[in-house]
Protein backbone atom coordinates (compact mmCIF):
# COMPACT_ATOMS: atom_id res chain seq x y z
CA UNK A 1 0.00 0.00 0.00
CA UNK A 2 1.36 3.41 -0.93
CA UNK A 3 0.03 6.96 -0.80
CA UNK A 4 2.15 8.06 -3.72
CA UNK A 5 3.75 9.85 -5.35
CA UNK A 6 1.42 9.16 -8.24
CA UNK A 7 1.98 9.95 -11.91
CA UNK A 8 0.21 13.24 -12.73
CA UNK A 9 -3.18 12.62 -14.37
CA UNK A 10 -4.23 14.31 -17.60
CA UNK A 11 -5.96 17.64 -17.03
CA UNK A 12 -9.14 17.86 -19.11
CA UNK A 13 -10.64 21.23 -18.15
CA UNK A 14 -10.68 23.89 -15.48
CA UNK A 15 -7.85 25.51 -13.57
CA UNK A 16 -4.28 24.22 -13.60
CA UNK A 17 -4.59 24.07 -9.82
CA UNK A 18 -5.58 26.07 -6.74
CA UNK A 19 -5.02 29.83 -6.91
CA UNK A 20 -2.94 30.03 -3.72
CA UNK A 21 -0.44 27.98 -1.80
CA UNK A 22 -2.56 27.95 1.35
CA UNK A 23 -6.31 27.32 1.50
CA UNK A 24 -8.77 25.48 3.68
CA UNK A 25 -10.14 22.50 1.81
CA UNK A 26 -10.07 20.31 -1.25
CA UNK A 27 -13.37 18.78 -2.34
CA UNK A 28 -12.78 15.55 -4.25
CA UNK A 29 -15.41 13.93 -6.48
CA UNK A 30 -14.79 10.69 -8.37
CA UNK A 31 -16.57 10.41 -11.72
CA UNK A 32 -17.54 7.38 -13.76
CA UNK A 33 -20.47 8.14 -16.08
CA UNK A 34 -23.67 9.24 -14.23
CA UNK A 35 -23.02 12.67 -15.72
CA UNK A 36 -26.25 14.30 -14.55
CA UNK A 37 -25.68 13.37 -10.90
CA UNK A 38 -21.99 14.28 -11.10
CA UNK A 39 -22.78 17.71 -12.55
CA UNK A 40 -25.11 18.37 -9.61
CA UNK A 41 -22.40 17.29 -7.16
CA UNK A 42 -19.89 19.64 -8.82
CA UNK A 43 -22.32 22.56 -8.74
CA UNK A 44 -23.04 21.88 -5.08
CA UNK A 45 -19.32 21.86 -4.24
CA UNK A 46 -18.61 25.06 -6.16
CA UNK A 47 -21.51 26.77 -4.34
CA UNK A 48 -19.91 26.27 -0.92
CA UNK A 49 -19.30 29.54 0.91
CA UNK A 50 -17.36 30.78 3.93
CA UNK A 51 -14.27 28.71 3.23
CA UNK A 52 -11.38 28.76 0.74
CA UNK A 53 -11.50 25.60 -1.36
CA UNK A 54 -10.72 23.90 -4.64
CA UNK A 55 -12.88 21.26 -6.31
CA UNK A 56 -11.20 18.27 -7.98
CA UNK A 57 -13.12 15.93 -10.25
CA UNK A 58 -11.18 12.75 -11.00
CA UNK A 59 -12.68 10.83 -13.91
CA UNK A 60 -12.01 7.09 -13.95
CA UNK A 61 -13.23 6.13 -17.40
CA UNK A 62 -16.51 7.85 -18.27
CA UNK A 63 -17.91 7.54 -21.77
CA UNK A 64 -16.82 10.39 -24.10
CA UNK A 65 -20.17 12.18 -23.97
CA UNK A 66 -20.22 12.11 -20.15
CA UNK A 67 -16.64 13.36 -19.94
CA UNK A 68 -17.45 16.16 -22.37
CA UNK A 69 -20.38 17.26 -20.21
CA UNK A 70 -18.13 17.41 -17.14
CA UNK A 71 -15.53 19.40 -19.09
CA UNK A 72 -18.12 21.97 -20.14
CA UNK A 73 -19.18 22.40 -16.53
CA UNK A 74 -15.72 23.52 -15.36
CA UNK A 75 -14.36 25.09 -18.56
CA UNK A 76 -12.62 28.34 -17.57
CA UNK A 77 -13.31 27.80 -13.86
CA UNK A 78 -10.70 29.10 -11.42
CA UNK A 79 -11.97 26.98 -8.52
CA UNK A 80 -12.32 23.55 -10.12
CA UNK A 81 -10.24 21.09 -12.11
CA UNK A 82 -11.29 18.00 -14.07
CA UNK A 83 -8.61 15.34 -14.53
CA UNK A 84 -8.65 11.93 -16.16
CA UNK A 85 -6.97 9.07 -14.27
CA UNK A 86 -5.16 6.41 -16.25
CA UNK A 87 -7.71 3.75 -15.28
CA UNK A 88 -10.49 2.95 -12.83
CA UNK A 89 -8.77 2.68 -9.46
CA UNK A 90 -12.01 2.21 -7.57
CA UNK A 91 -13.06 4.30 -4.62
CA UNK A 92 -9.97 3.69 -2.50
CA UNK A 93 -7.36 4.23 -5.20
CA UNK A 94 -9.33 7.02 -6.85
CA UNK A 95 -9.61 8.98 -3.62
CA UNK A 96 -5.90 8.54 -2.96
CA UNK A 97 -5.04 10.03 -6.32
CA UNK A 98 -7.59 12.83 -6.12
CA UNK A 99 -6.40 13.77 -2.63
CA UNK A 100 -2.79 13.91 -3.79
CA UNK A 101 -3.69 16.61 -6.33
CA UNK A 102 -4.44 19.25 -3.69
CA UNK A 103 -2.84 20.82 -0.66
CA UNK A 104 -5.80 22.06 1.39
CA UNK A 105 -5.50 21.19 5.06
CA UNK A 106 -8.88 19.40 4.91
CA UNK A 107 -10.07 16.93 2.28
CA UNK A 108 -13.83 16.57 1.84
CA UNK A 109 -14.88 13.56 -0.25
CA UNK A 110 -18.31 13.87 -1.86
CA UNK A 111 -19.89 10.99 -3.77
CA UNK A 112 -20.83 11.84 -7.32
CA UNK A 113 -24.48 11.11 -6.51
CA UNK A 114 -24.52 13.36 -3.44
CA UNK A 115 -24.76 17.09 -2.73
CA UNK A 116 -23.96 19.33 0.22
CA UNK A 117 -27.08 19.90 2.30
CA UNK A 118 -26.43 23.65 2.71
CA UNK A 119 -24.11 26.28 1.28
CA UNK A 120 -22.05 26.31 4.49
CA UNK A 121 -21.70 22.54 5.02
CA UNK A 122 -18.05 22.50 3.97
CA UNK A 123 -17.19 25.51 6.12
CA UNK A 124 -18.83 23.87 9.14
CA UNK A 125 -16.93 20.62 8.57
CA UNK A 126 -13.63 22.52 8.42
CA UNK A 127 -14.56 24.45 11.57
CA UNK A 128 -15.43 21.20 13.37
CA UNK A 129 -11.97 19.78 12.64
CA UNK A 130 -10.33 23.05 13.69
CA UNK A 131 -12.23 23.04 16.98
CA UNK A 132 -11.01 19.58 18.04
CA UNK A 133 -7.35 19.03 17.10
CA UNK A 134 -7.43 15.30 17.93
CA UNK A 135 -10.09 14.59 15.28
CA UNK A 136 -8.88 12.83 12.15
CA UNK A 137 -12.25 12.87 10.37
CA UNK A 138 -15.79 14.20 10.46
CA UNK A 139 -18.51 11.73 9.50
CA UNK A 140 -21.48 13.53 7.97
CA UNK A 141 -25.12 12.64 8.32
CA UNK A 142 -26.33 11.09 5.07
CA UNK A 143 -29.85 12.05 4.02
CA UNK A 144 -31.98 10.76 1.17
CA UNK A 145 -31.90 13.53 -1.42
CA UNK A 146 -35.56 13.23 -2.37
CA UNK A 147 -37.04 13.15 1.13
CA UNK A 148 -34.52 14.51 3.62
CA UNK A 149 -34.91 11.37 5.72
CA UNK A 150 -31.93 9.41 7.01
CA UNK A 151 -30.41 7.18 4.33
CA UNK A 152 -30.55 3.88 6.18
CA UNK A 153 -28.56 2.16 3.44
CA UNK A 154 -25.66 4.48 4.36
CA UNK A 155 -25.86 4.08 8.14
CA UNK A 156 -22.42 2.70 8.95
CA UNK A 157 -22.72 2.63 12.73
CA UNK A 158 -24.30 0.34 15.34
CA UNK A 159 -28.08 0.20 14.96
CA UNK A 160 -28.45 1.25 18.59
CA UNK A 161 -27.06 4.68 17.66
CA UNK A 162 -29.65 5.37 14.97
CA UNK A 163 -31.89 7.37 17.37
CA UNK A 164 -28.91 9.74 17.71
CA UNK A 165 -28.68 10.37 13.97
CA UNK A 166 -29.32 14.09 14.46
CA UNK A 167 -26.78 14.31 17.27
CA UNK A 168 -23.06 13.70 17.62
CA UNK A 169 -20.90 10.84 18.86
CA UNK A 170 -17.41 9.38 18.53
CA UNK A 171 -17.30 6.61 15.94
CA UNK A 172 -15.00 3.93 14.58
CA UNK A 173 -15.62 4.63 10.90
CA UNK A 174 -17.35 7.08 8.59
CA UNK A 175 -19.50 6.84 5.48
CA UNK A 176 -17.93 7.57 2.12
CA UNK A 177 -20.86 9.50 0.63
CA UNK A 178 -19.74 12.61 2.52
CA UNK A 179 -16.91 13.08 5.00
CA UNK A 180 -14.02 15.39 5.85
CA UNK A 181 -10.50 14.25 6.75
CA UNK A 182 -7.62 16.28 8.12
CA UNK A 183 -4.92 16.01 5.44
CA UNK A 184 -2.11 15.61 7.97
CA UNK A 185 -3.87 12.60 9.48
CA UNK A 186 -4.68 11.14 6.08
CA UNK A 187 -0.98 11.20 5.24
CA UNK A 188 0.18 9.98 8.66
CA UNK A 189 -2.16 6.96 8.48
CA UNK A 190 -1.14 6.14 4.90
CA UNK A 191 -4.37 7.02 3.11
CA UNK A 192 -6.58 4.29 1.71
CA UNK A 193 -5.49 0.80 0.72
CA UNK A 194 -5.71 0.61 -3.09
CA UNK A 195 -6.24 -3.15 -2.87
CA UNK A 196 -9.69 -2.68 -1.32
CA UNK A 197 -10.99 -1.02 -4.53
CA UNK A 198 -14.33 -0.25 -2.86
CA UNK A 199 -16.13 -1.23 0.34
CA UNK A 200 -14.75 -0.94 3.90
CA UNK A 201 -11.92 1.42 2.85
CA UNK A 202 -13.11 4.04 5.35
CA UNK A 203 -13.10 1.52 8.22
CA UNK A 204 -9.60 0.35 7.32
CA UNK A 205 -8.32 3.94 7.33
CA UNK A 206 -10.17 4.73 10.56
CA UNK A 207 -8.51 1.82 12.38
CA UNK A 208 -5.08 3.20 11.53
CA UNK A 209 -6.06 6.73 12.50
CA UNK A 210 -7.45 5.50 15.83
CA UNK A 211 -4.23 3.57 16.38
CA UNK A 212 -2.41 6.89 16.04
CA UNK A 213 -4.48 8.27 18.91
CA UNK A 214 -6.95 10.15 16.73
CA UNK A 215 -10.74 10.24 16.92
CA UNK A 216 -13.55 10.01 14.36
CA UNK A 217 -16.59 12.18 15.12
CA UNK A 218 -20.06 11.71 13.67
CA UNK A 219 -21.86 15.04 13.30
CA UNK A 220 -25.57 14.82 12.59
CA UNK A 221 -25.73 18.59 12.09
CA UNK A 222 -23.33 18.43 9.11
CA UNK A 223 -25.08 16.64 6.27
CA UNK A 224 -25.04 15.65 2.62
CA UNK A 225 -28.03 14.59 0.55
CA UNK A 226 -27.60 11.28 -1.26
CA UNK A 227 -29.56 10.24 -4.34
CA UNK A 228 -30.79 6.82 -3.28
CA UNK A 229 -33.42 4.73 -4.98
CA UNK A 230 -35.67 3.57 -2.10
CA UNK A 231 -36.53 0.32 -3.83
CA UNK A 232 -32.85 -0.61 -4.34
CA UNK A 233 -31.27 0.08 -0.97
CA UNK A 234 -29.28 -3.18 -1.02
CA UNK A 235 -27.60 -4.14 -4.29
CA UNK A 236 -26.67 -7.80 -4.55
CA UNK A 237 -25.78 -7.72 -8.24
CA UNK A 238 -22.37 -7.41 -9.83
CA UNK A 239 -19.46 -7.96 -7.42
CA UNK A 240 -20.65 -5.86 -4.49
CA UNK A 241 -21.05 -8.82 -2.11
CA UNK A 242 -17.67 -10.22 -3.17
CA UNK A 243 -15.94 -6.95 -2.22
CA UNK A 244 -17.95 -6.63 1.00
CA UNK A 245 -16.87 -10.06 2.26
CA UNK A 246 -13.35 -10.09 0.85
CA UNK A 247 -12.43 -6.66 2.20
CA UNK A 248 -13.87 -7.19 5.68
CA UNK A 249 -11.97 -10.45 6.14
CA UNK A 250 -8.78 -9.00 4.64
CA UNK A 251 -8.86 -6.02 7.00
CA UNK A 252 -9.21 -8.29 10.03
CA UNK A 253 -6.23 -10.35 8.88
CA UNK A 254 -4.17 -7.20 8.21
CA UNK A 255 -4.72 -6.28 11.85
CA UNK A 256 -3.62 -9.66 13.16
CA UNK A 257 -6.68 -11.93 13.17
CA UNK A 258 -6.07 -15.55 12.18
CA UNK A 259 -8.17 -17.18 9.44
CA UNK A 260 -9.44 -19.71 11.99
CA UNK A 261 -10.68 -16.94 14.29
CA UNK A 262 -12.60 -15.46 11.35
CA UNK A 263 -14.39 -18.72 10.51
CA UNK A 264 -17.66 -17.84 12.35
CA UNK A 265 -17.83 -14.49 10.55
CA UNK A 266 -17.09 -16.19 7.22
CA UNK A 267 -19.86 -18.77 7.77
CA UNK A 268 -22.29 -16.01 8.72
CA UNK A 269 -21.51 -14.22 5.47
CA UNK A 270 -22.10 -17.43 3.50
CA UNK A 271 -25.53 -17.89 5.12
CA UNK A 272 -26.47 -14.35 4.17
CA UNK A 273 -25.05 -14.73 0.66
CA UNK A 274 -26.92 -18.00 0.10
CA UNK A 275 -30.21 -16.39 1.09
CA UNK A 276 -29.63 -13.54 -1.37
CA UNK A 277 -28.46 -15.70 -4.28
CA UNK A 278 -24.79 -14.70 -4.23
CA UNK A 279 -23.21 -17.67 -2.45
CA UNK A 280 -20.53 -18.04 -5.13
CA UNK A 281 -19.38 -14.46 -4.58
CA UNK A 282 -18.96 -15.04 -0.85
CA UNK A 283 -17.04 -18.28 -1.31
CA UNK A 284 -14.66 -16.67 -3.81
CA UNK A 285 -14.24 -13.74 -1.45
CA UNK A 286 -12.81 -15.95 1.28
CA UNK A 287 -10.01 -17.23 -0.93
CA UNK A 288 -9.37 -13.74 -2.30
CA UNK A 289 -9.09 -12.32 1.22
CA UNK A 290 -6.49 -14.93 2.12
CA UNK A 291 -4.51 -14.07 -1.01
CA UNK A 292 -4.59 -10.33 -0.26
CA UNK A 293 -3.55 -10.87 3.35
CA UNK A 294 -0.63 -13.06 2.35
CA UNK A 295 0.54 -10.49 -0.18
CA UNK A 296 0.14 -7.51 2.17
CA UNK A 297 3.34 -5.83 3.35
CA UNK A 298 3.18 -2.66 5.44
CA UNK A 299 5.29 0.21 4.16
CA UNK A 300 8.61 0.38 6.04
CA UNK A 301 8.15 2.11 9.36
CA UNK A 302 4.36 1.66 9.45
CA UNK A 303 4.18 -1.83 10.91
CA UNK A 304 2.88 -0.50 14.25
CA UNK A 305 -0.20 0.93 12.53
CA UNK A 306 -1.47 -2.64 12.10
CA UNK A 307 -1.07 -3.69 15.73
CA UNK A 308 -3.94 -2.18 17.68
CA UNK A 309 -2.69 -0.51 20.84
CA UNK A 310 -4.49 -0.96 24.18
CA UNK A 311 -5.78 2.62 23.84
CA UNK A 312 -7.15 1.86 20.35
CA UNK A 313 -8.86 -1.28 21.63
CA UNK A 314 -10.48 0.69 24.44
CA UNK A 315 -11.68 3.28 21.91
CA UNK A 316 -13.20 0.59 19.68
CA UNK A 317 -14.86 -1.10 22.65
CA UNK A 318 -16.33 2.16 23.97
CA UNK A 319 -17.53 3.55 20.65
CA UNK A 320 -18.60 0.45 18.74
CA UNK A 321 -18.66 -2.90 20.55
CA UNK A 322 -20.66 -1.73 23.56
CA UNK A 323 -23.42 -0.51 21.24
CA UNK A 324 -23.69 -3.85 19.44
CA UNK A 325 -24.40 -6.15 22.41
CA UNK A 326 -22.80 -9.46 23.32
CA UNK A 327 -21.76 -12.31 21.06
CA UNK A 328 -25.16 -14.04 21.12
CA UNK A 329 -26.95 -10.80 20.29
CA UNK A 330 -24.65 -10.15 17.35
CA UNK A 331 -24.93 -13.77 16.17
CA UNK A 332 -28.71 -13.55 16.21
CA UNK A 333 -28.70 -10.26 14.32
CA UNK A 334 -25.95 -10.98 11.79
CA UNK A 335 -26.45 -14.68 11.09
CA UNK A 336 -29.80 -16.05 12.25
CA UNK A 337 -31.65 -13.02 10.90
CA UNK A 338 -30.38 -13.87 7.42
CA UNK A 339 -32.05 -17.29 7.41
CA UNK A 340 -35.56 -17.83 6.04
CA UNK A 341 -38.40 -17.62 8.52
CA UNK A 342 -39.94 -20.98 9.55
CA UNK A 343 -43.09 -20.42 7.49
CA UNK A 344 -40.97 -19.86 4.38
CA UNK A 345 -39.01 -23.11 4.63
CA UNK A 346 -40.23 -26.04 2.52
CA UNK A 347 -42.37 -28.41 4.56
CA UNK A 348 -42.66 -26.03 7.52
CA UNK A 349 -45.86 -26.14 9.55
The pLDDT, as a whole number, for residue 229 is: 53
Q: Does residue 348 fall inside a structural domain?
A: no
Pick from 172, 207, 232: which residue ends a domain?
Answer: 232
| 3-state SS string for 300-337 | CCCHHHHCCCHHHHHHHHHHHHHHHCCHHHHHHHHCHH
Say if pTM beats, i.e. exceeds, 0.75: yes
Q: How far is CA 128 from CA 66, 132, 252, in A?
A: 35, 7, 30
- The answer on 268 and 226 residing in a single domain is no
Q: Do the strands 178-182 and 135-144 form a parallel or antiparallel pair, or are they unpaired?
A: antiparallel
Domains in the chain, number: 2
Q: b/e string for 244-259 if b means 16 or more Cβ within 10 A?
A: bbbbbbbbbbbbeeee
For residue 192, the Cα-to-chain-centroid distance in whole angstroms is 9
Q: Does residue 115 fall inside a structural domain?
A: yes
The pLDDT, as a whole number, for residue 329 is: 64
Pick from 173, 208, 232: which residue ends a domain?
Answer: 232
- The answer on 259 and 178 residing in a single domain is no
CATH number of the domain where residue 155 is located = 3.90.550.10
Q: Does residue 23 fall inside a structural domain?
A: yes
Q: Does residue 153 fall inside a structural domain?
A: yes
- The answer on 198 and 91 residing in a single domain is yes
The pLDDT, as a whole number, for residue 232 is: 40
For the chain, 349 residues long, the average pLDDT of each consecutive 10-residue run is 78 93 96 97 98 98 98 97 97 98 97 98 98 98 96 94 98 97 98 97 98 98 86 59 97 97 95 93 97 96 95 97 76 50 32
Q: Does residue 20 fall inside a structural domain?
A: yes
- The answer on 245 and 202 residing in a single domain is no
Pick from 183, 216, 232: which residue ends a domain?
Answer: 232
For residue 138, the Cα-to-chain-centroid distance in whole angstroms is 12
- The answer on 245 and 194 residing in a single domain is no
- The answer on 190 and 157 residing in a single domain is yes
The pLDDT, as a whole number, for residue 348 is: 30
- The answer on 244 and 197 residing in a single domain is no
- The answer on 298 and 172 residing in a single domain is no
Q: Which domain holds residue 261?
A: 240-341
Q: Does residue 335 fall inside a structural domain?
A: yes
Nearest CA to 249 among 192, 290, 203, 221? 290
Tell me if 264 sits within 8 A of 330, measured CB to CB: no
Q: What is the pLDDT of residues 284-305, one digit of tens each?
A: 999 999 999 999 999 999 999 9
Q: Does residue 4 fall inside a structural domain?
A: no
- The answer on 28 and 156 residing in a single domain is yes
- The answer on 225 and 247 residing in a single domain is no
- The answer on 227 and 244 residing in a single domain is no
Q: Does residue 144 fall inside a structural domain?
A: yes
- The answer on 213 and 83 residing in a single domain is yes
Amino acid sequence: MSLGPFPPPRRIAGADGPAGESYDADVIILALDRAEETLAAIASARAQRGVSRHVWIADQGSAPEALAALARAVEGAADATLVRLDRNWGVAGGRNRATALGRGRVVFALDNDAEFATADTLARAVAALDAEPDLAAIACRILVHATGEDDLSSWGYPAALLPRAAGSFDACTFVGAGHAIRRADFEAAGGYDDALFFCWEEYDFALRAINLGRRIRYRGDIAVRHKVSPEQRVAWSGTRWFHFVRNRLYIEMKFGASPLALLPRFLGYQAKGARNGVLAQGLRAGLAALALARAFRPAPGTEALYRLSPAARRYLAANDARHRGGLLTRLRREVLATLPAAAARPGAR
